[in-house]
Amino acid sequence: AQSVAQPEDQVNVAEGNPLTVKCTYSVSGNPYLFWYVQYPNRGLQFLLKYITGDNLVKGSYGFEAEFNKSQTSFHLKKPSALVSDSALYFCAVRDMGSGAGSYQLTFGKGTKLSVIP
Amino acid sequence: DAGITQSPRHKVTETGTPVTLRCHQTENHRYMYWYRQDPGHGLRLIHYSYGVKDTDKGEVSDGYSVSRSKTEDFLLTLESATSSQTSVYFCATGAVQSTGELFFGEGSRLTVL
């Protein structure tokens, strides 16, 4: 079974500094990896994904993520944090699908990012 | 955006009563999912559907049932609600078999007293 670990419950960073939110995963086969963001009282919004190709993927709002196969990691990064980036961030992995053609996305427990003015 | 609508958005009910949450999508996606979100647990999959009348259990399916009689609608039923089912429930859908990502509804907050 696949799994996702987000080792930090909370990350604090000063506005203007670079930020990193960590994610490691376990899945059979080649992974489909995702990052989502959730603002208070809202649903999750898709940020970016890795399926294949370049290990550095770029997404919405200036975020990017680096896929590292040897370390089974997919860390979310941004060069310069904004106060408006403060939110809850989720990493997710998709499985390879069953014979019936079903797919599951498994999410980490989330990391609360606080950007301090 | 998959045009996902959840109803009701908020509900307060009493232990032992049945509750049905509805998810409606407008993009004709084959796959639909119900998750619950709880502090310290992140999102956990309850049930999912990979086609009309094709459903399967997720990680935390006990006490829940689902039905999908039309592509656009996916219903989650709590036959007899318990306080442990107090949570925020999210529906999601998308072309997960190809592009991979899911799109989420705005959530249904359920309180069981």
Tens of pLDDT, residue by residue over B47-58, are 999 999 999 999
pLDDT in tens, B1-28: 559 999 999 999 999 999 999 999 999 9
Scanning every residue of chain B, which has its alpha carbon at the shortest distance from the alpha carbon of A89?
B42
pLDDT of B60-103, one tens digit each? Answer: 999 999 999 999 999 999 999 999 999 999 999 988 877 788 99
| Confidence at residue A98, expressed as pLDDT on a 0 to 100 scale | 65
**What are the contacts of A1-4 at 24+ separation with CB within 8 A?**
A1/A106, A2/A26, A2/A27, A2/A28, A2/A93, A2/A94, A2/A95, A2/A104, A2/A106, A3/A27, A3/A93, A3/A106, A4/A91, A4/A92, A4/A93, A4/A106, A4/A107, A4/A108
Q: Do B101 and A49 touch (CB under 8 A)?
A: yes
Sign of CA dihedral B86, A7, A38, B2: negative
| Coil/strand/helix, residue B100 | coil
Q: Please tell me what DSSP assigns to residue A31.
A: P
d(Cα B95, Cα B111) in Å, to the nearest integer?
31
How far apart CA A95 and CA A106 sit, in angstroms, is 8
User: CB A42 to CB B50 under 8 A?
Assistant: no
Q: What is the pLDDT of residue A96?
A: 72
Residue in chain A closest to B6 (alpha carbons) equals: A43
- For B37, nearest residue in chain A (alpha carbons): A109
CA B30 to CA A19: how far, in whole Å? 36
Q: DSSP E strands: which ranges in B1-113?
A: 4-7, 10-13, 19-25, 31-38, 42-51, 54-57, 64-70, 73-78, 87-94, 103-104, 108-112
- Is B101 in contact with A106 (Cβ distance < 8 A)? no
Which residue would you say has higher pLDDT here, A101 or B95? B95
Pick from A35, A46, A48, A51 the residue to mutate for testing the B interface (most B CBs within 10 Å). A46
Q: Do B100 and A94 touch (CB under 8 A)?
A: yes
Residue A112 predicted with pLDDT over 80: yes
- CA B3 vs CA A5, B75, B94, B104, B106: distances in Å: 30, 16, 10, 9, 11
pLDDT at A20 over 90: yes
pLDDT confidence of residue A99: 60
* Res A95: pLDDT: 78
Give the residue carrying structure tokens 């080792």. Answer: A7
pLDDT in tens, A76-89: 999 999 999 999 99
